[in-house]
Amino acid sequence: MAQAIGIDIGGTGIKGGLVDVTTGELLSDRIKRPTPEGGEPDDIVEVVHSILAELDDRAADAPIGVCFPAIVRGGRTMSAANVSKKWVGLAAEQLFERALARDITFVNDADAAGYAESEFGAAKDVDGLVLMTTLGTGIGSAIIYRNLLVPNAELGHLDIGDKVDYETHASNAVRERKELSWKRWAALLQTYYEKLEFLFSPDLFIVGGGVSKHSEEFLPLLDLATPIVPAALRNNAGILGAAALAAHGSGDRPSVGAEHLVRATNETAPPAS
């Protein structure tokens, strides 16, 4: 059985677990910690270290994948959404590898979630263009075409004028902060998904993030020409995707779909299989 560890870092919480990367199933309990206030690099690394320490001995030699809410290029975080600005331009992959004394695969969080859905979930074998959005502290996005993923799409940051983007207008954090009803929030999402529909003409929308477990409350309120479904893997998608990408990076689970994503985002990448 091929297994790997997935760590999903978000603006609000940090989650991790041991994954069977053949089936896309968790082999351990999902461990969750709050993201430290301010989202400083050293503080987040310390939380990740504590999560790894809690996993049992089966995880001792498993490859590790870490996904993070930022543009990731060559192992560096080139943006910082809902975390400290100290991440901008930081050699984050090196930071984690030195702190954990382990090789890791480091990718954008929505890319990891999108990859998981393409391998194990709602995007698997979809013959066309899939746009996945993760609605949480911010809005992450993944563009998937015939099971190949375009790295570092930032569709949550589409500008809607007056220095406002859709992430600051319609994320789940906005819904919670403003105490919006599902109907009022759906009206904000309607505008967002209509814009994505116009720009990309997708064949399928997938909605992930923690709020996807309440998808029946808001997805039926949207009026779109494109089918829109909740993520099959719900809020575990980032963990599962990060683990599966780590297994590719270690050579345990070669995948054409992972090859260009790992190459584009990591400091070093495995040779083509």
Residue found under tokens 């859905």: 117
Confidence at residue 223, expressed as pLDDT on a 0 to 100 scale = 98
Whether 241 has a pLDDT exceeding 80, the answer reads yes
pLDDT the model gives residue 20: 95
- Using the predicted structure, report yes or no on whether residue 25 has a pLDDT greater than 80: yes
Cβ(69)–Cβ(11) below 8 Å: yes
Mean pLDDT of the chain: 91
For residues 154 and 134, the answer to whether their CB atoms sit within 8 Å is no
CA separation for the pair 174, 261 (Å, rounded): 30
Which residues face 230 on adjacent strands?
207
Which distant-in-sequence residues (6+ apart) come within 8 Å of 76 by Cβ? Answer: 89, 90, 91, 92, 93, 267
Q: Which two tokens stand for residue 6?
A: 């997935």
Q: How confident is the model over 132-166, as pLDDT tens digits?
A: 999 998 999 999 998 889 999 999 999 987 778 99
Neighbours of 34 (CB within 10 A): 9
Instruction: Check pLDDT > 70 for residue 107.
Output: yes
Average pLDDT over residues 13-24: 95
Nearest-angstrom CA–CA distance, 114 and 148: 10
Residues 6 or more apart whose Cβ sits within 8 Å of residue 135: 171, 172, 189, 207, 208, 209, 211, 212
The pLDDT of residue 270 is: 40
pLDDT value for 268: 60
Structure tokens at 222: 């949207």
Which tens digits make up the pLDDT trace of 169-208?
A: 999 999 999 999 999 999 999 999 999 999 999 999 999 9
Question: Which pLDDT value is given to residue 61?
Answer: 86
Position with higher pLDDT, 271 vs 44: 44
pLDDT (0 to 100) of residue 261: 80
Which tens digits make up the pLDDT trace of 215-239? 999 999 999 999 999 999 988 999 9
Average pLDDT of span 33-44: 96
Interatomic CA distance for residues 45 and 97, integer angstroms: 10
pLDDT at 125 over 60: yes
What is the percent of the chain where pLDDT is above 70? 97
Which two tokens mark 136?
């949480």
| Angstrom distance (rounded) from CA 54 to CA 246 | 19
Q: What is the DSSP string of the chain?
A: --EEEEEEE-SSEEEEEEEETTTTEESSPPEEEEPPTT--HHHHHHHHHHHHHHS-GGGTT--EEEEESS-EETTEE---SSS-GGGTTB-HHHHHHHHHTS-EEEEEHHHHHHHHHHHHSTTTT--SEEEEEEESSSEEEEEEETTEEETT--GGG-B-STT-BHHHHHSHHHHHHHT--HHHHHHHHHHHHHHHHHHH--SEEEEESGGGGGHHHHGGG---SS-EEE-TTGGGHHHHHHHHHHHHHTTSS--HHHHHHHHHHSSS-PPP-
Closest CA to 255 of 238, 236, 269: 269
Better pLDDT: 271 or 48? 48
Position 1 confidence tier, pLDDT thresholds 50, 70, 90: low
